[in-house]
């Protein structure tokens, strides 16, 4: 069975649409991964900031003790 020009064109269009849908699916999955990474980076940044504040307080206390 040979495909006619109309059937061949339709098959190409359907294949192209399927490829676009698959690409969009991959993009959505990647966006979710990036969002999770962004959340994790934000959490880590908050933890580092807390530690920096602790260190600053400790250094201020030690400087005060040295002055006295």
Structure-block tokens of residue 26: 């991959």
The total number of structural domains that make up the chain: 1
- Domain interval for residue 25: 1-68
pLDDT band at 68 (very low <50, low <70, confident <90, very high): low
pLDDT of res. 46: 97
pLDDT of res. 10: 95
pLDDT tens profile 6-58 = 999 999 999 999 999 999 999 999 999 999 999 999 999 999 999 999 999 88
Q: Where are the beta strands (DSSP E) in the chain?
A: none
CB 51 within 8 A of CB 59: no
Burial 49-62 (b: 16+ CB within 10 A, else e): eeeeeeeeeeeeee
The structure's pTM equals 0.62
């Amino acid at each position: 069975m040979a495909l006619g020009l109309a059937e061949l064109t339709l098959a190409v269009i359907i294949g192209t649409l399927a490829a676009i849908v698959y690409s969009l699916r991959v993009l959505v999955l990647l966006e979710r991964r990036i969002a999770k990474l962004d959340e994790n980076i934000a959490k880590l940044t908050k933890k580092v900031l807390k530690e920096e504040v602790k260190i600053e307080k400790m250094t201020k206390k030690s400087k005060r003790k040295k002055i006295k």
